[in-house]
Chain A
Amino acid sequence: MEPFVVLLPLFGALLAMPLGRMAGPRAAEIATTALLGVACLYAWVLFFDVAVGGNARTISLFTWFQSGDFYADWAVRLDTLTAVMLVVVNTVSFLVHAYSIGYMHEDDGRPRFFAYLSLFTFAMLCLVTADNFMQLFFGWEGVGLASYLLIGFWFKKKSANDAAIKAFVVNRVGDFGFALGIFCVFYVFGSVRFDEVFGAVASNAVVTPYGQSVGAPIRELTITFLNWDFHALTVMSVLLFIGAMGKSAQFLLHTWLPDAMEGPTPVSALIHAATMVTAGVFLVCRCSIFYEYAPDAAALVTVTGAVTAFFAATVGLLQDDIKKIVAYSTCSQLGYMFFAAGVGAYGAAMFHLFTHAFFKALLFLGSGAVIHGLHHEQDIKKMGDARTLLPLTWLMMLIGTLSITGVGIPGAKIGDMPLGFAGFVSKDMILESAYAAGEAGRAFGYFAFTLGLIAAVFTAFYSWRLIFLTFHGPTRIPEEVRKHPHEVPAVMHAPLIILAIGAVFAGMAFYSDFVGSKADKFWNGALYSADDHAPAHAPAVEAHDAAATAHEAEAAHGEHHFPAWVVWAPFVAMATGLLAAIYQYLRGDPLRPGLLRPGGMIYAFLRNKWYFDEIYDFLFVKPALKLGRFLWLDGDGKTIDGVGPDGIAGVVAASARRVVKVQTGYMYHYAFAMLLGIAALVTFIVFRLGGGQ
């Protein structure tokens, strides 16, 4: 039965196009949405069975790879980590399918659109249910394909095609690392299956890499990688993380995500906010045991996440395209998840992933409703006072914003449960974990905490800026649009309302399971913590560990006592950003120059997104194209051909002008001569030399 939770969307993907052809687009829409509805319900059933009920299991279907000991199955692995992803993916996907029925109703390519959406969902589910690195990679690349197809869905637009290719190629840069990571895992462990690999790390088994005569306990093992000796787990973890950086649009490999907004808005909500881009976080959490014993790699994750959280938030401050703001915000929130994972708070990372899926999908679908309602306008500077035109959408966006900026009551708890919107609960958890990590001496804990706080100020500012410029203040919407706004139909509102409920309550409702008192039982070993497995027979080490890193267990169980300023800091950060936004956008002309004057250096720097696109174009894209041309014309053409065949052929041609000119009629003669030549040569040799034997 379990495989159907993965396969139902695939059936939808396969059915959509034929159904669309035979019975019209509506049939395709209803079929795919209904199949996902069933898959979604089933995912929740499995969630309560696996995560809450503790029935983790793996169903192997059949062998995919088998070459010597390189072995991988097609499987459905169900543990809590998978179960969480299952509900996130299927729920958001179902809601996005339903929403798209309304949003895409004017588009001719609807069956294709729904086929792609369902294909994406299938690939994403393959990714999260993998029990080995190969199936994970299959899903990983599969979601990349679906993302490519959906970003380029409006294939007439050049910008959409460019963005699609950019997304695929930049992701491939990440996959470069991911693939090397898998090679490395296999080289060291002789297996790519999670149970065997993670089992070996858990028991600190002695492993012998291929071709080596002496093994070592895995946590101490060093291997030669590119002629240097490295700690094996660190190499693997870093390489896998490069893959995660690509998929989750982390600093340096983030450039594709804002461009990906060329795709239809429901796609942005599903793929580029709630699910696909979180696959990197999932990967790091899945491999948590690696990072627990590879502190340098974990530090890299922390730094990258913190820098991304900060960087993307700064760029978000000055964007005018409503979708790009939300895109940079996604990038930034993913940064939070990563540094949480980097400091060892995997539960908090997954918790934020979970809540983020609700409020970010809500914000995207809400933005879609705004765009839809205002006749395909995306520039928030051309909006204003849309609240009166789209009241329900305004309310939804408001809830999303309250959630993402982290509105709640610091320190207040009812029993175990904190009080606040979903984003508040999970983001506070992350910041506190980072602070605790810093306190415990974990690398870059304070660094992440600080950048996370600054980013929280910016998050509040750009989120409220979006709300104020779009929905409040004097209107800049053209007269004719104002007369006929398209407040969206019920099929689009219903998903918004469901997501809004999640954006408000998901944090409070699931706090105790994800990071609170029930966390150990909930995760049931799916996330690994080195502290819980400190060797009992080494009391000195244990004492040290307990002193140094017990923060996480405590933080996770809410027992840790933070200074009041740490508890209040995120709230103050949020309030600062909100007040600044009110000051700038609710008083007087909202479009007047603010602190950063247009034309200034910082303004230009931020507007141009830190010039990443320009730098990459200059460093990689243009040289690659130039080099390709050079190698072709000068390498192949002038050098190899010039010296080799053309030189010889030229001589032959020049000495036999007549023959060559006659051309095709003589081809047969050549051929016949060749045949005779071969036969004669062989015969001669065999008989002359053969006689000598």
Chain B
Amino acid sequence: MNEIAAQSLATQPWLSLLTFLPLVGAFGVALRQMLAKRDANGEISAAEIAQIDTVARNVALLFTLGAFIVSVFIYFAFYDPSVAGYQLVETAEWLGGGVSYKMGVDGISILFVLLTTFIMPICVLASKTIDKRVPEYMIAFLIMETLILGVFCALDLIVFYLFFEASLIPMFLIIGVWGSKGTKELGGVVMSSRVYAAIKFFLYTLLGSVLMLVAIIWMWRYAGTTDIPTLQQTAFPEGAQKWLWFAFFASFAVKMPMWPVHTWLPDAHVQAPTAGSVVLAAILLKMGGYGFLRFSLPMFPLASAEFAPFIYALSIIAIIYTSLVALAQEDMKKLIAYSSVAHMGFVTMGIFTGTKQGIEGGLFQMLSHGFISGALFLCVGVLYDRIHTREISAYGGLVHKMPFYAFLFLFFTMGNVGLPGVSGFVGEFLTMVGAFKANSWIAFFAAFGVILSAAYALRLYRQVMYGDLAKAKLMAIADVDARELTMLGALLVFALFLGLYPKPALDVFAPSVDLLMSNFDAALAGAAGAP
């Protein structure tokens, strides 16, 4: 009886429930806004607006926290980390013709699901200083969470594509509507910088996606299905693999972002509100790396192997080039954004080595970057909320007034530098171990990033925190409050824990990565044996 109950409990559509839970919250907020009391002139009173705002914040926090709890529950109750294949799979008829609604997770995706649900409540908390269009803002975040979870859970290409593309939209809005002030002139038109950043973000990502869509259609025509597990077993002809690989690459490389299609990221980060930057850095970028592992490597193994040197080259350029650029930045957010590009360079480098350490290191680096860069953007947000500038030169000597902040910022700076003991080290080091196996040159060049990251990160910290507290504006600056301490503290705990004991995460990756690698190696061996 109990067994049957447990069995039926386990086969419930948990992933769909989780994915669409935030959407329910979004509907709730929307409903409350529609039901707003209006006076005789059809205007909404200030008190009513304030109340709606409060409801929106609380509902958003409640639902993001709820999603987190549900995801943790799902993980511990139903997910078996020793299984390599997909779990919690649910399928429903949808469009027909081989296109169905299918969800499922494996060792490669499950931790990104948890990362997403963990980061989102923090983002809601970080949005306390948003004061215009609060309900719309919260709706955008809740919808975004649903879409991101959909990306990581989808096991059908069309479903994946829909989530993947649609996740652009809320982010586009968050940057374009709630972004910072300032103008930029382009093509004779003066536009606000945040709109420029939003459009740049959109254009880049759209361009990549169109190519991916074409590839998806081709694959569907070829295989007769868009079922991801089936496609992963499908041997595409070698010639076609190259084109398909490039089409997917275009999309994922932009998302990652890889050099030279990275220039949207600094702009997007600078313009986005703090929480927007956190989601962008902590989660949205990871869709690129996830895509490489879910599609490029398993579906186009021959092309992946053939183009690996090309990826190495781009990754190494990204590591060295963007680290040098980070050294020259005058804006805190831009500096961290460029350092993100460098760190993602380690991920792509590791993934395409096709070695166990490279792939696991890449996955781990993405996870860890979620905590560390998310926290760094929060750290910038803490200062921005108080002084309203991101200029590095506007600060100095904050350590005198903000000892707790100084400690937290130092911790995450060291995480960014890749100090052993913090999670940032584990991924970076493993990817380089993998790279050395592939070719010592790659590791040799990548290791320059180790030197440069110390230079730019410590320079930032020094200029903001150390020295005399001389600037008048900074005299009354307050240390972190309880809310900020909670957010940063939660991230610190994870970054430290995974730095000292990364085994739990690596153990979750391992079975699925082993399976991926054995399929990959078999495909290569098969191709080598064929002629």
Task: Report how many residues on chain B are interfacial, defined by Cβ distance under 8 Å.
Answer: 94
Looking at chain B's contact residues, is the secondary structure mostly helix, strand, loop, or mixed? helix
- Asked if B433 and A186 make an inter-chain contact with CB atoms under 8 angstroms apart, the answer reads yes
| Interface mask (A106-136 → B, CB under 8 Å = 1, otherwise 0) | 0000000000000000000000000000100
- Asked if B97 and A628 make an inter-chain contact with CB atoms under 8 angstroms apart, the answer reads no
Write the chain A residue with the least CB distance to B449.
A176
- Asked if A686 and B95 make an inter-chain contact with CB atoms under 8 angstroms apart, the answer reads yes
B360, B462, B510: the one contacting A161 at CB < 8 Å is B462
Which residues of B lie under 8 Å from residue A142 when comparing CB positions? 419-421
Given A152-B466, A657-B189, A660-B191: A168 and B454 interface contact (C-beta under 8 Å): yes
Report the separation of the CA atoms of residues A172 and B260 in the bound assembly, to the nearest whole angstrom. 27
Which residues of A lie under 8 Å from residue B124 when comparing CB positions? none
Given A155-B467, A660-B191, A661-B189: A671 and B169 interface contact (C-beta under 8 Å): yes
- Asked if B195 and A663 make an inter-chain contact with CB atoms under 8 angstroms apart, the answer reads yes
- Asked if A660 and B361 make an inter-chain contact with CB atoms under 8 angstroms apart, the answer reads no
Looking at chain A's contact residues, is the secondary structure mostly helix, strand, loop, or mixed? helix
Shortest CB-to-CB span from A219 to chain B, Å, is: 21
A670 at the interface (CB under 8 A from B): yes
Write the chain B residue with the least CB distance to A693.
B97
Report the separation of the CA atoms of residues A156 and B503 in the bound assembly, to the nearest whole angstrom. 40
- Asked if A675 and B503 make an inter-chain contact with CB atoms under 8 angstroms apart, the answer reads no
- Asked if A138 and B325 make an inter-chain contact with CB atoms under 8 angstroms apart, the answer reads no
A175 at the interface (CB under 8 A from B): yes
B328 at the interface (CB under 8 A from A): yes
Write the chain A residue with the least CB distance to B451.
A172
- Asked if B437 and A675 make an inter-chain contact with CB atoms under 8 angstroms apart, the answer reads no
Which residues of B lie under 8 Å from residue A687 when comparing CB positions? 95
A625 at the interface (CB under 8 A from B): yes
Interface centre among B421, B425, B432 (most CB of A within 10 A): B421
Shortest CB-to-CB span from A556 to chain B, Å, is: 35
B217, B356, B466, B503: the one contacting A64 at CB < 8 Å is B503
- Asked if A653 and B187 make an inter-chain contact with CB atoms under 8 angstroms apart, the answer reads yes
A213 at the interface (CB under 8 A from B): no
A70, A631, A661: the one contacting B324 at CB < 8 Å is A631
- Asked if A145 and B414 make an inter-chain contact with CB atoms under 8 angstroms apart, the answer reads yes
Report the separation of the CA atoms of residues A342 and B54 in the bound assembly, to the nearest whole angstrom. 70
- Asked if B192 and A645 make an inter-chain contact with CB atoms under 8 angstroms apart, the answer reads no
Write the chain A residue with the least CB distance to B363.
A67
Which residues of B lie under 8 Å from residue A635 when comparing CB positions? 321, 325
Q: How many A-B pairs with Cβ below 8 Å?
A: 237
B526 at the interface (CB under 8 A from A): no
Write the chain A residue with the least CB distance to B452.
A624
Shortest CB-to-CB span from B143 to chain A, Å, is: 10
Which residues of A lie under 8 Å from residue B399 when comparing CB positions? 155
A385 at the interface (CB under 8 A from B): no
Which residues of B lie under 8 Å from residue A682 when comparing CB positions? 158, 161-162
Which residues of B lie under 8 Å from residue A478 when comparing CB positions? none
Q: From residue 183 to 217 of chain A, which have CB atoms closer than 8 A to chain B?
A: 183-184, 186-187, 210-211
- Asked if A645 and B503 make an inter-chain contact with CB atoms under 8 angstroms apart, the answer reads no
- Asked if B503 and A652 make an inter-chain contact with CB atoms under 8 angstroms apart, the answer reads no
Report the separation of the CA atoms of residues A685 and B216 in the bound assembly, to the nearest whole angstrom. 11
- Asked if A165 and B327 make an inter-chain contact with CB atoms under 8 angstroms apart, the answer reads no
Given A137-B420, A645-B203, A649-B203: A624 and B454 interface contact (C-beta under 8 Å): no
Write the chain B residue with the least CB distance to A141.
B420
- Asked if A226 and B195 make an inter-chain contact with CB atoms under 8 angstroms apart, the answer reads no
- Asked if A649 and B195 make an inter-chain contact with CB atoms under 8 angstroms apart, the answer reads no
- Asked if B436 and A187 make an inter-chain contact with CB atoms under 8 angstroms apart, the answer reads yes
Report the separation of the CA atoms of residues A74 and B426 in the bound assembly, to the nearest whole angstrom. 14
Shortest CB-to-CB span from B43 to chain A, Å, is: 18
Write the chain B residue with the least CB distance to A144.
B419
B192, B397, B425: the one contacting A156 at CB < 8 Å is B397
Which residues of A lie under 8 Å from residue B448 when comparing CB positions? 176
B263 at the interface (CB under 8 A from A): yes
A68, A148, A152, A693: the one contacting B224 at CB < 8 Å is A693
- Asked if A661 and B441 make an inter-chain contact with CB atoms under 8 angstroms apart, the answer reads no
B165 at the interface (CB under 8 A from A): yes
Write the chain A residue with the least CB distance to B507.
A66
Which residues of A lie under 8 Å from residue B187 when comparing CB positions? 646, 649-651, 653-654
Extra contacts, 14 of them, besides A138-B421, A145-B419 (Cβ < 8 A), are A64-B503, A65-B502, A152-B462, A164-B462, A169-B454, A169-B458, A172-B450, A180-B443, A624-B452, A657-B189, A660-B189, A661-B190, A690-B97, A693-B98
The 4 closest A-B pairs by CB, nearest first: A650-B187, A690-B97, A183-B436, A628-B328
Identify 29 residue pairs between A and B in the complex whose beta-carbon atoms are under 8 Å apart, listed by A's number: A65-B430, A67-B506, A70-B356, A137-B420, A141-B419, A142-B420, A148-B458, A161-B466, A168-B454, A169-B451, A175-B451, A183-B435, A183-B443, A211-B437, A624-B455, A631-B321, A646-B200, A653-B199, A654-B187, A661-B189, A663-B191, A667-B195, A668-B173, A671-B172, A678-B162, A678-B166, A682-B158, A689-B220, A691-B97
Which residues of A are interface residues toward B (Cβ below 8 A)? 62-68, 70, 74, 134, 137-138, 141-142, 145, 148, 152, 155-156, 158, 161, 164-165, 168-169, 172-173, 175-176, 179-180, 182-184, 186-187, 210-211, 224-227, 624-625, 627-629, 631-632, 635-636, 640-641, 644-646, 648-654, 657, 660-661, 663-664, 667-668, 670-671, 674-675, 678-679, 681-682, 685-687, 689-691, 693
